[in-house]
């Protein structure tokens, strides 16, 4: 901001700074992104480490704008959360992900499970169980094949999250705790929650063979999952070494660049659809 006049008058209001203008422009473009068909999904395979078998995919949202190019979700998800657009976006993502499961099925690829990320803001407006139930009904996807991913902070910071999560469980939808170990870890809630899966955060996997603390944390999460009868999946697995470590310590599920980057649905089909043998 520029100082002007005798009293150091601020000529530019904060919202008029370059950054503010840029943000408003981004917000406006984001709001129109769905209608303009700029939003689409990538899918990242989740695999069984020892067999290499596909056990599921995670849907990851993408935004390609003709002017801005590709905008990373790390940038636009927080913006969508601030503006409330996340509710519309989250619904679109869930619908598209469920529809895609049916399309793959028709094309001959059975993907057992699809994981979809939910934002904390989607819990703040009230129960989302009706939205989820409607989408499942509409698309015909069995609830057991949908797994919703929420972070620890969703659970700890949302007053009614427990109620909503129980609602979702009651219609048969699965629940995974994303980025496990990075949030407030009150382990007490794990007991009360109908969760099936813990996802070990990538930050603990990254230096697994060099950092003894990360190793200890990864092992502890695997053990915790085991003793609570939860399945544990490691995210961000990039090397054979990391995969071998996980397997050695009793974690047989992974997701990461070692197996596949997030891909378009056609690529998933091409890679994982085994054509009938003649």
Q: Which residues bind ligand C2E (CB under 6 A)?
A: 44, 60-61, 72-74, 77, 93, 117-119, 178-179, 202, 235-238, 256-257, 262
The entry of ligand C2E, Ca ion, none near residue 152 (CB within 5 to 8 angstroms by kind) is none
Matching residue, tokens 């003894």:
212
- DSSP-derived secondary structure letter, 211: -
Q: How many CA atoms lie within 13 A of 72 on its CB side?
A: 2
Among 81, 124, 149, 214, binds Ca ion (CB under 5 A): 149
Q: In this complex, which beta carbon is closest to Ca ion, that of residue 20 or of residue 78?
A: 78
Judged by CB under 5 A, does residue 96 bind Ca ion? no
For the CB of residue 255, give the shortest distance to Ca ion in the complex, in Å. Answer: 9
For the CB of residue 206, give the shortest distance to ligand C2E in the complex, in Å. Answer: 8
Distances in Å between the Cα of 256 and the Cα atoms of 54, 60, 147, 151, 241 are 13, 13, 18, 18, 13
Judged by CB under 5 A, does residue 179 bind Ca ion? yes
Task: Considering only the stretches 80-88, 118-126, 134-142, 179-187, report the one whose residues sit in contact with Ca ion under the rule CB under 5 A.
Answer: 179-187
The entry of ligand C2E, Ca ion, none near residue 72 (CB within 5 to 8 angstroms by kind) is ligand C2E
User: Rounded distance, CA 51 to CA 159, Å?
Assistant: 41
For the CB of residue 226, give the shortest distance to ligand C2E in the complex, in Å. Answer: 22
User: Rounded distance, CA 247 to CA 99, Å?
Assistant: 33
Among 44, 117, 147, 260, binds Ca ion (CB under 5 A): 117
121 φ/ψ angles, rounded to the nearest 5 degrees: -65, -25
The entry of ligand C2E, Ca ion, none near residue 44 (CB within 5 to 8 angstroms by kind) is ligand C2E
Beta strands in the chain (DSSP E): 3-4, 9-10, 39-48, 54-65, 69-71, 114-117, 146-151, 174-180, 197-200, 231-235, 253-255
Q: In this complex, which beta carbon is closest to ligand C2E, that of residue 14 or of residue 210?
A: 210
Q: In this complex, which beta carbon is closest to ligand C2E, that of residue 118 or of residue 222?
A: 118
For the CB of residue 1, give the shortest distance to ligand C2E in the complex, in Å. Answer: 33
CB-based closest residue to ligand C2E: 256
Question: What DSSP element (H or E) covers 190?
Answer: helix 188-192
User: Rounded distance, CA 21 to CA 71, Å?
Assistant: 17
Please report, as ranges, the residues that interact with Ca ion according to CB under 5 A: 117, 149, 178-179, 235
């Amino acid at each position: 901001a520029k100082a002007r006049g005798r009293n150091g008058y601020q000529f530019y209001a904060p919202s008029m700074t370059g950054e503010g203008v840029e943000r408003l422009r981004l917000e406006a473009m984001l709001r129109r992104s769905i209608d303009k068909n700029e939003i689409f999904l990538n899918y990242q395979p989740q695999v069984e480490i020892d067999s290499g078998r596909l056990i599921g995919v995670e849907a990851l949202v993408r935004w390609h704008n003709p002017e801005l190019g590709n905008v990373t979700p790390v940038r636009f998800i927080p913006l969508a959360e601030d503006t409330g657009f996340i509710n519309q976006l989250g619904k679109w993502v869930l619908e598209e992900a469920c529809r895609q499961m049916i399309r793959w099925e028709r094309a001959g690829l059975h993907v057992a499970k699809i994981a979809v990320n939910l934002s904390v803001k989607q819990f703040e407006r009230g129960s989302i169980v009706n939205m989820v139930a409607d989408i499942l009904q509409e698309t015909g996807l069995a609830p057991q094949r949908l797994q919703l991913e929420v972070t620890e902070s969703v659970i700890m910071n949302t007053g009614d999250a427990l109620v909503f999560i129980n609602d979702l469980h009651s219609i048969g939808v699965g629940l995974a705790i994303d980025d496990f170990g990075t949030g407030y870890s009150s382990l007490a809630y794990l007991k009360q929650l109908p969760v099936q899966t813990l996802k070990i955060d990538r930050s603990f996997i990254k230096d697994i063979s060099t950092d003894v603390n990360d190793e200890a944390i990864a092992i502890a999460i695997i053990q915790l999952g085991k003793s609570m009868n939860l399945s544990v999946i490691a995210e961000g697995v990039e090397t054979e070494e990391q995969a071998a470590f996980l397997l050695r310590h009793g974690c047989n599920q992974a997701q990461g660049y070692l197996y596949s980057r997030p891909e378009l649905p056609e690529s998933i089909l091409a890679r994982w659809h085994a054509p009938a043998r003649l």
